[in-house]
Amino acid sequence: MASATVNERLSLLEARLNQLQQLLDEHLPSVSSSDNKAKRGWQTIVGTFANDPLYEEAMRRGQEWRQSQHEDSSKASV
């Protein structure tokens, strides 16, 4: 009886581990791929934020801030 419980628990853990690996493969391919050692620098992160609305929002806000800084410095020099 106890070994059946251990085997059931092990099967559940293995299934959950497979689910987690699939999530990693989908959302962080550069971390979970086995060939990431061959890639260097920027190549390891290319595509990490593809189709990510939060990243797009951060980039938009950063651009707005940079433009406001440029406009503020232009006004100060006049």
Domain ranges of the chain: 2-76
Asked if pLDDT for residue 2 goes beyond 80, the answer is no
b/e code 4-38 from CB counts within 10 Å (16+ = b): eeeeeeeeeeeeeeeeeeeeeeeeeeeeeeeeeee
- Report, as an integer, the average pLDDT of 30-37: 55
Residue with token string 């251990």 = 6
What is the structure's pLDDT at 64? 96
Question: Which DSSP string corresponds to 30-43?
Answer: HHH-TTGGG--GGG
pTM of the model as a whole: 0.39
41: left (phi over 0), alpha (psi -120 to 50) or beta: left
Asked if pLDDT for residue 66 goes beyond 90, the answer is yes
- pLDDT-based confidence at 20, cuts 50/70/90? very high
Structure tokens at 42: 């920027």
The residue type at 68: S
- pLDDT-based confidence at 7, cuts 50/70/90? very high
